[in-house]
């Protein structure tokens, strides 16, 4: 798994932004070790045992950014365990602050590339997964770095249970088309829209992220896809 992780094309940008504040350093040093996901240990069986509170199922968010969606889902679904993956340190510290302030006990974090987590997870262990506004890599020569691909869907198919939901969103039109093409090629997932609202509007249990709000403010149309694991 380590060798495959090293061979993965980087699908994200920066790891760090501004110099962390004292509180951010304290969160990383003191709180992160309590909630971090250790891939050096075998995955818990069942996966719900990862959490210190009882949970009925486990969800995964890949690239949670500023953590708005992850923290909202955790607060609204206290009986669900959420695994959040994000390599950008500023995003990790924002979620740590939210966990501390909200006394949230149903979140585990992995501050690195989510593909390593996908290879670690047991088969059919997830009931839902989210990939919301991944790095678009708009330049043609960089598009091979886009996260959502046939290969990623194949890895997700292994760890998602039959009937599980995969929610994906982007504000880049050609990326949305590429996502649907990947879905068509990886037949483990199905997209069954009933009308334009199914991809133009978020469901009520899908809160907006900071990046989405920025995209809308700048006039970009967002696409929301809800895929089902066959």
> Tokens 């920066």 label which residue?
14
What is the β-pairing status of strands 160-170 and 223-229? antiparallel
Three-state DSSP class for residue 44: coil
Is 135 tagged catalytic?
yes
Show the 3-state SS of 120-166. HCCCCCEEEEEEECCCCCCCHHHHHHCCCCHHHHHHHHHHEEEEEEE
Furthest C-alpha separation in the chain: 50
Which among 219, 230, 171 has a CA at the least distance from the CA of 199? 171
Of the candidates 191, 136, 186, the one whose C-alpha atom is nearest the C-alpha of residue 167 is: 191
- CB 186: neighbour CB atoms within 10 A? 18
CA–CA distances in Å: residue 129 to residues 25, 59, 103, 153: 29, 6, 23, 11
Catalytic-role residue among 34, 79, 90, 135 = 135
Helices (H), the chain: 2-7, 22-26, 32-35, 68-76, 89-102, 114-120, 150-159, 173-185, 197-200, 210-217
Q: Catalytic site residues?
A: 135
């Amino acid at each position: 798994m380590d060798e495959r992780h090293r061979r993965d094309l980087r699908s994200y940008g920066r790891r760090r932004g501004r110099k962390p504040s004292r509180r951010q350093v304290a969160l990383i040093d003191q709180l992160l070790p309590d909630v971090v996901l250790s891939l050096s240990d075998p995955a818990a069986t069942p996966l719900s045992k990862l959490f210190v509170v009882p949970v009925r199922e486990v969800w995964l968010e890949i690239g949670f950014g500023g953590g708005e969606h992850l923290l909202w889902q955790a607060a609204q679904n206290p009986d669900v365990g959420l695994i959040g993956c994000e390599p950008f340190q500023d995003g990790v510290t924002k979620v740590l602050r939210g966990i501390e302030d909200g006394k949230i006990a149903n979140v585990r974090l992995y501050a690195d590339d989510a593909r390593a987590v996908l290879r670690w997870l047991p088969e059919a262990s997830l009931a839902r997964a989210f990939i919301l506004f991944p790095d678009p890599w708009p330049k043609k020569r960089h598009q091979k770095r886009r996260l959502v691909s046939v290969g990623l869907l194949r890895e997700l198919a292994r760890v998602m249970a039959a009937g599980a939901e995969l929610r994906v969103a982007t504000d880049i039109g050609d990326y949305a088309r590429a996502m649907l093409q990947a879905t068509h090629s990886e037949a483990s997932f199905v997209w069954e829209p009933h009308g334009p609202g199914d991809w133009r509007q978020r469901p009520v249990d899908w809160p907006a992220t900071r990046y989405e709000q920025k995209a809308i403010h700048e006039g970009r149309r967002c696409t929301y896809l809800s895929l089902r694991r066959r």
